[in-house]
Amino acid sequence: MKTRTAALMTRTGALMTLATAIGAAACGGGFAERYAMMPAPSMAVSGEVAPPAMSREGYDAIAESPFLDVVTAPLSTFAIDVDTASYANVRRFITQQRLPPPDAVRIEELLNYFDYAYPAPTGAVPFSVNAEVAEAPWNPAHRLVHVGLQGRRIETADLPPANLVFLLDVSGSMNSPDKLPLLKQAFALLVGQLRPQDHVAIVVYAGAAGLVLPSTAGDEQGTINEALDSLEAGGSTAGGEGIELAYAVAREHFVKGGTNRVILATDGDFNVGTSSDGELVRLIEAERESGVFLTILGFGTGNYQDAKMEKLSNAGNGNAAYIDSALEARKVLVNEIGGTLVTIAKDVKVQVEFNPARVKAYRLIGYENRLLAARDFNDDRKDAGELGAGHSVTALYEIVPAGAAEDVGTVDPLKYQRVTATGVAPSGELMTIKLRYKQPEGDVSALITGTIADEGLTLTQTSDAFRFASAVAELGLLLRESPHQGRADHAALIERARGALGTDVHGYRRDFVALAEAARALAQ
Sequence ranges of the domains in the chain: 68-82+98-154+344-465, 156-341
Per-residue pLDDT reduced to its tens digit, 423-434: 555 568 999 999
Q: 3-state DSSP call for residue 185? A: helix
* CATH 3.40.50.720 applies to domain 156-341: no
Q: 3-state DSSP call for residue 42? A: coil
DSSP 229: H
- Whether 399 contacts 132, CB under 8 Å: no
CA atoms within 13 A on the CB side of 169: 28
Beta bridge partners of 58: 305
Q: What single-letter amino acid sits at 154?
A: I
Over the chain, what is the mean pLDDT?
88
Q: Which are the contacts of 380, defined by CB distance < 8 A and separation ≥ 6?
A: 347, 436, 438, 443, 444, 445
Alpha carbon separation from 484 to 305, 363, 502 (Å, rounded): 28, 10, 28
- In 241-314, the DSSP E strands lie at 259-266, 293-299
Q: Which are the contacts of 131, defined by CB distance < 8 A and separation ≥ 6?
A: 145, 146, 147, 148, 433, 450, 452
pLDDT class of 146 with cuts at 50, 70, 90? very high
Q: Residue 342 above 80 pLDDT?
A: yes
Per-residue pLDDT reduced to its tens digit, 452-478: 999 999 999 999 999 999 999 999 999
Alpha carbon separation from 361 to 69, 74, 124, 284 (Å, rounded): 5, 9, 35, 37
Neighbours of 513 (CB within 10 A): 26
Q: Residue 15 above 60 pLDDT?
A: no
Q: 3-state DSSP call for residue 244? A: helix
Per-residue pLDDT reduced to its tens digit, 82-106: 999 999 999 999 999 999 999 999 9
